[in-house]
Amino acid sequence: MMDVVDEPITANSVLPARREPLSLTTADGLRLVGEVALPLEHQPRATIVCVHPLPTHGGMMDSHVLRKMAWRLPAMSDIAVLRFNTRGTASAAGASEGEFDSAEGEGLDLRAAIHEAQRRGLPDIWLVGWSFGTDVVLKHGNVDPVRGAILLSPPLRFATAEDVRIWQTAGRRVVAFVPEFDDFLPPQAAREAFAIAPSIDVVAVPDAKHLWVGERFVGDLLNRIVHVIEPDSEDLSSHWTGPMDKWSDLA
């Protein structure tokens, strides 16, 4: 039972949603673990399928930006959020089968997640990749019924220039949010790398770093993501009145 509060949203605030564990099966027969978070009392207006950062460096479906997306957006924006662990990745939800495959086999993982969203009849599917997840999205996400893609801190480590170029004629909106102080691909380098596909919007985010640590940056980033998906939506509030839980493993 969630407590009813009237207070600011903090790093460990968990807002109401219908949260269901997922078991996804890939085309090559692997079982992946995941979760879908749905609006509690409404049908979702849009859907986000998340692809997490590099699992060999700690990335997983619970990486903080993606987890906070699932904690907040179903309640605040009526957006469904589907997260999953790519092959060989573990989190509190469990371990996905298989082994890390440098953004190749992970394409089958992404397809399995998109198919699950379709199977559930979830509307307006958008992909949100973070770091390594952006490489997976760029290489494998240009498929129906995906409406568009949002790239957070794209390093372009595994994605090639050709992977980027094909989005130019895809008819899908692509926005890259690039931290001003990104460790791998800061804004000017990102503009040069994405110039091969001018339709991709490269947006520099002042003062931010690759990992988007700090509520100031997370709140701003989630607001930016919602405005890409729902351009006419109001800004997300930093305050919540209603039921709320607090996740206990965060300070």
Query: Minimal CA–CA distance to 89: which of 80, 81, 102, 99?
Result: 99
Helix axes 106-119, 132-140, angle to 10 degrees: 70
Q: What is the pTM of this model?
A: 0.97
The H-or-E segment that residue 94 falls in is: strand 94-95
Q: Domain 21-231, what fold?
A: Rossmann fold (3.40.50)
Q: Give the pLDDT of residue 18.
A: 98
Cα 251 to chain centroid distance, Å, stands at 23
Query: Minimal CA–CA distance to 127: which of 112, 147, 109?
Result: 147
Domain residue spans of the chain: 21-231
pLDDT tens track for 101-139: 999 999 999 999 999 999 999 999 999 999 999 999 999
The pair of structure tokens assigned to 68 is: 């906070």
Q: Give the pLDDT of residue 1.
A: 72
Decide: residue 209, CB within 10 A, 0-12 exposed, 13-18 middle, 19+ buried. middle
CA atoms within 13 A on the CB side of 22: 29
